[in-house]
Structure 1
Amino acid sequence: MSESTPNPRYFAKERESVQVVYNLRDAAPYLDLGYEEVDEVTYLASLPASINASTVGGN
């Protein structure tokens, strides 16, 4: 049996932090709670510049 790679999915809700959920099969519970699924690029773009800059350069 091979080791599977985590499959992150990002869920955002206004005035709340983004929830990162790995290997999720059914997003319905998050969608029912008012979360919107966003892609990783959108999630990273929403981070403050100081956090985003530290992850881009690996510093």
Structure 2
Amino acid sequence: NIELLWVKQWLFYANTVRYASAMTGAFDFTGFNRGWWDLTHNLQKMKDLIELKMSSK
């Protein structure tokens, strides 16, 4: 469900990246613990879902 992916994207991943980048400067934490990697992975999943729905029309 793309709505759930969207919520995870901004509620969890984006806030984790923002906090870790601004407050701690912990680049390893930002990269892997619900950070950039998950943010990018989730964006790709949403893109794939949109493309799948568009191609099935």
* TM norm. shorter chain > 0.5: no
| Higher-strand-fraction structure | 1
Q: Tell me the TM-score normalised to structure 2 length.
A: 0.25
Higher relative contact order (CA closer than 8 Å, sequence separation 6+): 2
